[in-house]
Amino acid sequence: MFLLPTAVSLVLQLSLLALPITSQHCHLNQSRRQSAQQPFDPSVPSPSVSPITNGSSTSFTHPQPSSTPFVYGRDKIRGVNLGGWFVLEPWITPSIFENTGNDNIVDEYTFGQMQNYQTALGVLQNHWQTWIVEDDFRQMEAVGLNHVRIPLGYWSIPLTSNDTQLSTSVSPYISGAWPYFLQALSWAKSYSFNVIVDIHGAPGSQNGYDNSGQRTSSPMWAYNQSDVQKTIDCVMFLVKNAGDKIDILEVMNEPAGFLGDSFTSVLRQYYIDSYNSIRMAVGNSTGVMFSDGFLGLDSWADSFNPPQYNSTSFDIHMYQIFSDEELARSFDQHISYACNLSQSYANFESSNTWTVVGEWSNALNDCAMWLNGRGVGARWEGQWGGASGQQVFGSCEGYTGNYSNFSQTYKSQMREYFEVQVEVGESVQGWVFWAWKTESADEWSYSKGIAGGWIPSNPTERLYPNICS
Ligand SMILES: *[C@@H]1O[C@H](CO)[C@@H](O)[C@H](O)[C@H]1NC(C)=O
Ligand SMILES: *[C@@H]1O[C@H](CO)[C@@H](O)[C@H](O)[C@H]1NC(C)=O
Ligand SMILES: *[C@@H]1O[C@H](CO)[C@@H](O)[C@H](O)[C@H]1NC(C)=O
Ligand SMILES: *[C@@H]1O[C@H](CO)[C@@H](O)[C@H](O)[C@H]1NC(C)=O
Ligand SMILES: *[C@@H]1O[C@H](CO)[C@@H](O)[C@H](O)[C@H]1NC(C)=O
Ligand SMILES: *[C@@H]1O[C@H](CO)[C@@H](O)[C@H](O)[C@H]1NC(C)=O
Ligand SMILES: *[C@@H]1O[C@H](CO)[C@@H](O)[C@H](O)[C@H]1NC(C)=O
Ligand SMILES: *[C@@H]1O[C@H](CO)[C@@H](O)[C@H](O)[C@H]1NC(C)=O
Ligand SMILES: *[C@@H]1O[C@H](CO)[C@@H](O)[C@H](O)[C@H]1NC(C)=O
């Protein structure tokens, strides 16, 4: 996560790297160009997955995969991110970080670096086994979702010396999530989900956010050719070893395009090279998705379009809370701003390639504890970066935490905000909500939204129809 790339917020993003780093986290018709594009190949649901070497111990009966497979370009993507599972984020699972007793453990990198290995491994294994279980897939299916996006760190991809000419060490990261990841792919197919896998944490870090695995003011990825090559090796491993169970591979999440030309030129070449590698390895069957990298979709106009490129898509993230400028918007302005995005996304899609809103949420502020990084406060309360004299928008009380404290007005606003963003996503190929589950920031949780009534148990239901007209 997360920021909308307005010119102002790009400047904010730049200055942000110098500060204690923060986490960053209308209907139109299909164009002719879109309908001419070949769907990703969803016709081979692959229910058979080798049994997990370790994972859930619960026994279960697999349901029958749906007989009506999802068709890209025709059906709308309605999904959730399985955030905080294979890439830890302090604000999603604060207890995991609090339990270390060490305030300097702020991300998955330091989680591995500053603890006894066996202790850290044990906590991670328990987390991998319990954060998302089969019943989550059952619930997600029951509430009308058809996609999951699974953020994955490169350190969980078990390259051997046959897969890379570079070191296979991921130290200080702790590897071992791969079997749990394979189990997730298996559950996804059992419950008729299509799967988007994204490389959320790249070697060296692609953005410096804790959600890349490493919170750092100097993300190295683009400046170290070996990191880039290793990421390609990871992409190859993924499609060769699990490509038949992955519908779309997003080759990198939120690369820091705001770092300038030296970064973006490497990124663009990486996109081309990873696309070509995937096509060489597995043909056209796996969709390939690209993040706009905070540059705005228009920066990628004419870059990965059919017919030269097959089954490509762009991922745009839609948040309005990571700058004072955005927080200053009234509720009605948040709605109107979202409505406006619809047109720009659809315009991009109609003359380029498929577009998906791959991350968005109901959050109307950045109040969730540690959302901006462990120990970093909320801009909403003027606490971000710890500096004094920042704009204060209000108190966070009643806006985060247990939803038993949320007012009816707040819940109604989140319901309306949910619906408008669903409309925006469905003006293009669809949407993937961030996230299915959080430990305590209920406003970010799809499952808590359903329990609390501000997310409908059928995402096509509308209390606010024609909201943008
Ligand atoms: C768009 O779709 C609607 C509903 O399917 C249809 O009535 C309308 O003619 C279409 N417009 C264009 C420009 O294709
Ligand atoms: C697998 O899980 C069992 C029971 O939870 C545990 O005893 C065993 O050590 C685990 N094995 C591996 C390889 O993680
Ligand atoms: C590499 O591939 C060779 C030939 O297939 C195989 O014998 C060897 O075990 C592999 N090495 C690793 C580390 O997987
Ligand atoms: C460059 O990347 C390689 C491969 O990920 C890594 O082993 C090496 O430590 C990196 N070097 C620097 C200076 O970051
Ligand atoms: C994409 O690849 C598929 C499968 O190989 C092929 O049938 C289709 O014609 C390709 N689409 C385009 C637009 O070239
Ligand atoms: C994949 O798609 C490309 C571009 O659309 C097409 O030229 C190529 O023939 C396809 N490859 C296969 C193996 O179908
Ligand atoms: C939405 O677009 C309209 C028309 O361009 C503009 O007047 C309005 O200010 C925009 N709304 C927001 C919140 O940016
Ligand atoms: C709920 O609100 C009360 C008082 O307003 C506060 O003391 C409590 O900490 C809040 N609980 C949560 C989970 O946010
Ligand atoms: C949320 O608050 C309700 C009512 O106060 C309580 O029953 C529930 O256990 C709380 N949930 C969590 C996760 O703390």
Q: Is residue 467 part of a domain?
A: no
What does the angle CA 82 – CA 171 – CA 104 come to, to the nearest 5 degrees?
A: 75
Kindly identify the ligand whose nearest atom is closest to the C-alpha of 95: 9
Mean pLDDT throughout 23-39?
A: 32
Separation CA 208–CA 150 (nearest Å): 20
Say if residue 439's pLDDT is above 70.
Answer: yes
| Per-residue confidence band for 66, with pLDDT thresholds at 50, 70 and 90 | low
Kindly identify the ligand whose nearest atom is closest to the C-alpha of 37: 5
**Count of domains observed in the chain:** 1
Yes or no: say if 47 and 64 are a contact pair by the CB < 8 Å rule: no
Q: Is residue 431 part of a domain?
A: yes
List pLDDT tens digits, range 185-239. 999 999 999 999 999 999 999 999 999 999 999 999 999 999 999 999 999 999 9
Q: Is residue 461 part of a domain?
A: no
* Residue from 160, 166, 178 whose mutation best tests the ligand 3 pocket (most atoms within 8 A of CB): 160
392 alpha carbon – ligand 7 mean position (Å): 24
Q: Which residues line ligand 4 (CB under 6 A)?
A: 166-167, 203-204, 220, 224, 226-227, 230
162 alpha carbon – ligand 3 mean position (Å): 6
346 alpha carbon – ligand 1 mean position (Å): 15
33 alpha carbon – ligand 1 mean position (Å): 15
Mean pLDDT throughout 438-458?
A: 98
Q: Which residues line ligand 5 (CB under 6 A)?
A: 37-38, 283-284, 306-307, 310
List pLDDT tens digits, range 351-378. 999 999 999 999 999 999 999 999 999 9
Q: Is residue 210 part of a domain?
A: yes
Q: What is the pLDDT of residue 469?
A: 86
* 161 CB within 6 A, ligand 3: yes
Both tokens of 383, joined, read 């606490």
DSSP string of 253-299?
A: SS--GGG-HHHHHHHHHHHHHHHHHHHHHHTT-SEEEEE-TTS-GGG
* Residue from 325, 336, 342 whose mutation best tests the ligand 7 pocket (most atoms within 8 A of CB): 336
Look at ligand 7, atom 10, and give the residue with the nearest C-alpha: 337
Say if residue 430's pLDDT is above 90.
Answer: yes
Enzyme catalytic residues: 254, 359
* 158 CB within 6 A, ligand 3: no
Residue partners of 155: CB distance under 8 A and separation at least 6? 108, 170, 173, 174, 175, 201, 213
Yes or no: say if 447 and 5 are a contact pair by the CB < 8 Å rule: no
| Per-residue confidence band for 386, with pLDDT thresholds at 50, 70 and 90 | low
Separation CA 316–CA 355 (nearest Å): 7
Taking the chain, what is the end-to-end CA distance rounded to the nearest angstrom? 29
Say if residue 26's pLDDT is above 80.
Answer: no
Beta pairing, strands 430-433 & 77-81: parallel
Kindly identify the ligand whose nearest atom is closest to the C-alpha of 406: 8
271 alpha carbon – ligand 4 mean position (Å): 20
Kindly report the length of the chain: 469
pTM recorded for the entire structure: 0.85
Q: Is residue 469 part of a domain?
A: no
Q: Which helix (H) or strand (E) holds 197?
A: strand 194-201
With CA atoms as reference, report the closest residue to 358 among 18, 37, 80: 80
Which range of residues forms the domain containing residue 260? 7-452
| Per-residue confidence band for 389, with pLDDT thresholds at 50, 70 and 90 | low
Q: What is the pLDDT of residue 67?
A: 58
Separation CA 227–CA 224 (nearest Å): 5
Kindly identify the ligand whose nearest atom is closest to the C-alpha of 448: 9
Separation CA 429–CA 34 (nearest Å): 10
List pLDDT tens digits, range 139-177. 999 999 999 999 999 999 999 999 999 999 999 999 999
Separation CA 17–CA 242 (nearest Å): 35
Which of helix, strand or coil describes residue 404? helix
| Per-residue confidence band for 347, with pLDDT thresholds at 50, 70 and 90 | very high
Q: Specify the DSSP class assigned to residue 93.
A: S
Q: What is the pLDDT of residue 309?
A: 98
Say if residue 101's pLDDT is above 90.
Answer: yes
**Shortest-distance atom of ligand 7 to CA 334:** 13
Single-letter amino acid code for the residue at 205: S
Say if residue 27's pLDDT is above 90.
Answer: no
Single-letter amino acid code for the residue at 79: G
Q: Is 44 left (phi over 0), alpha (psi -120 to 50) or beta?
A: beta
Single-letter amino acid code for the residue at 156: S
CATH label of the domain that carries residue 271: 3.20.20.80
Say if residue 340's pLDDT is above 60.
Answer: yes
Q: Across all residues in the chain, what is the average pLDDT?
A: 88
Yes or no: say if 449 and 455 are a contact pair by the CB < 8 Å rule: yes
Q: What is the pLDDT of residue 385?
A: 75
Both tokens of 424, joined, read 């925006």
Percentage of residues in the chain with pLDDT exceeding 70? 85
Q: What is the pLDDT of residue 447?
A: 98
Q: Is residue 231 part of a domain?
A: yes
Least confident span in 246-260, 292-306, 382-396: 382-396
Yes or no: say if 401 and 409 are a contact pair by the CB < 8 Å rule: no
Look at ligand 8, atom 13, and give the residue with the nearest C-alpha: 402
Phi and psi angles of residue 397, each rounded to the nearest 5 degrees, phi first: -60, 130
Q: What is the pLDDT of residue 316?
A: 98
Question: In angstroms, what CA-CA distances link 38 with 46, 283, 284, 320, 459?
Answer: 20, 13, 9, 33, 27
Say if residue 9's pLDDT is above 90.
Answer: no
Q: Is residue 241 part of a domain?
A: yes
Which of helix, strand or coil describes residue 104? coil
| Per-residue confidence band for 388, with pLDDT thresholds at 50, 70 and 90 | low
184 alpha carbon – ligand 5 mean position (Å): 29
Q: Is residue 460 part of a domain?
A: no
Higher per-residue confidence, 439 vs 17: 439
Say if residue 43's pLDDT is above 60.
Answer: no
Mean pLDDT throughout 262-275?
A: 98
